[in-house]
Structure 1
Amino acid sequence: MVAVLVFFALNGVVFGSWASRVPALAAQIGAQEGALGLSLLGASVGMIAAASVTGRLTASFGARRVLGLSTLASAAALPLLGLAPSPLALGLALVLLGACVGTFDVAMNVAAVTVIRATERPMMPIFHASFSFGGLLGASGAAVAAFAGLPPFQHLLIVSGLVVVALAVFVRQVSDEVRPAEAVTTSTGPAAFRRPVLWLLAGVALFSAVAEGASADWSALFAAEYRGMSEASAAIVYGVFSIAMAVTRLFGERAQRRFGPERLLVFGALVGGGGLILTALAPSAVVTFAGFALAGVGLAYMFPVALDLAAAAGRRADGTGGERELGFVTTIAYSGFLAGPPLVGGIAHLSDLAVALGVAGMIACAIAPTAIAARAAAKREAVTV
Structure 2
Amino acid sequence: MRNNGAAVTKGAFVPAAEVTHWRNAVVVAYGASGIAFSTWVSRLPAIRDGLDLTPGTIGLLLLCLTAGSFVSVSASGLIVLRLGSRRTIRIGSIMVGFGLVLAGFGTSVLASPVVVAAGMAVIGLGAASWNTASNVEGAAVERAVRRHIMPRLHGSFSLGTVAGAGLGAWAAGAGIPVFWHLAAGGLLVAGSVATAAAWFRADVTPVQGERPFRAAGTDTFEDPSTGPIPIVRQTDAVPEQPLDNKRQIAQAWRDKRTLLLGVLVLGLALAEGAAGDWVALALADGHGQTDAAGAAGYGLFVTFMTIGRFAGTLVLDRFDRVPVMRWCAALAVAGLGLFVFAPVPWLAFVALAVWGLGASLGFPVGMSAAADDPVRAAARVSVVSTIGYGAFLCGPPLLGLLAEHVGILHSLLAVIVMLVVSFLLSPVARKTFLNPGPAPITARLDR
User: TM-score, with normalisation over the residues of structure 2?
Assistant: 0.79
Within the candidate set 154, 176, 190, 1:150 is matched to 176
Deviation at 1:378, TM superposition (A): 6.7
Task: Tell me if structure 2 keeps the 8 A contact 1:12–1:134.
Answer: yes
- RMSD of aligned Cα (Å): 2.1
Code of the aligned partner of 2:164: G
User: Could you say if the C-alpha distance between residues 67 and 174 of structure 1 is closer, same or farther in structure 2, counting changes exceeding 3 Å?
Assistant: same
Deviation at 1:83, TM superposition (A): 2.8
Q: Percent identity, aligned pairs only?
A: 29
Q: Which residue of 2 aligns with 1:303?
A: 363
- Whether 1:15 aligns to 2:72 is no
Q: Which runs of 5+ in 1 are unaligned?
A: 380-385
Deviation at 1:55, TM superposition (A): 2.0
Deviation at 1:376, TM superposition (A): 8.7
Within the candidate set 33, 45, 48, 2:55 is matched to 33
Code of the aligned partner of 1:368: F
User: Could you say if the C-alpha distance between residues 182 and 116 of structure 1 is closer, same or farther in structure 2, counting changes exceeding 3 Å?
Assistant: closer
Code of the aligned partner of 1:29: L
User: TM-score, with normalisation over the residues of structure 1?
Assistant: 0.91
Q: Which residue of 1 aligns with 2:190?
A: 164
- Whether 1:341 aligns to 2:367 is no
Q: 1 or 2, which has the higher strand percentage?
A: 2
Task: Tell me if structure 1 keeps the 8 A contact 2:139–2:367.
Answer: no
Within the candidate set 353, 358, 366, 2:413 is matched to 358
Measure, in 2, the Cα distance between the counterparts of 1:258 and 1:352.
41
User: Could you say if the C-alpha distance between residues 376 and 116 of structure 1 is closer, same or farther in structure 2, counting changes exceeding 3 Å?
Assistant: closer
Task: Tell me if structure 2 keeps the 8 A contact 1:41–1:338.
Answer: no
Measure, in 2, the Cα distance between the counterparts of 1:193 and 1:168.
31
Measure, in 2, the Cα distance between the counterparts of 1:299 and 1:126.
14
SS state at 1:229 partner: coil
Within the candidate set 222, 235, 243, 1:186 is matched to 243
Q: Which residue of 1 aligns with 2:167?
A: 141
Q: 1 or 2, which has the higher helix percentage?
A: 1
Task: Tell me if structure 2 keeps the 8 A contact 1:277–1:362.
Answer: no
Measure, in 2, the Cα distance between the counterparts of 1:94 and 1:212.
22
Q: Which residue of 2 aligns with 1:382?
A: none
SS state at 2:425 partner: helix
SS state at 1:349 partner: helix
- Whether 1:369 aligns to 2:429 is no
- Whether 1:112 aligns to 2:138 is yes
User: Could you say if the C-alpha distance between residues 82 and 263 of structure 1 is closer, same or farther in structure 2, counting changes exceeding 3 Å?
Assistant: same
Q: Which residue of 1 aligns with 2:90?
A: 68
Deviation at 1:19, TM superposition (A): 1.4
Q: Which runs of 5+ in 2 are unaligned?
A: 1-22, 205-233, 434-447
SS state at 1:251 partner: helix
Q: Which residue of 2 aligns with 1:274?
A: 334
Deviation at 1:335, TM superposition (A): 1.1
Measure, in 1, the Cα distance between the counterparts of 2:264 and 2:395.
14
Larger Rg: 2
Measure, in 1, the Cα distance between the counterparts of 2:238 and 2:168.
44
Within the candidate set 375, 378, 382, 1:327 is matched to 382
- Whether 1:197 aligns to 2:257 is yes
User: Could you say if the C-alpha distance between residues 168 and 302 of structure 1 is closer, same or farther in structure 2, counting changes exceeding 3 Å?
Assistant: closer
Measure, in 2, the Cα distance between the counterparts of 1:269 and 1:113.
22
Q: Which residue of 1 aligns with 2:19?
A: none
Code of the aligned partner of 1:55: G
Q: Which residue of 2 aligns with 1:383?
A: none
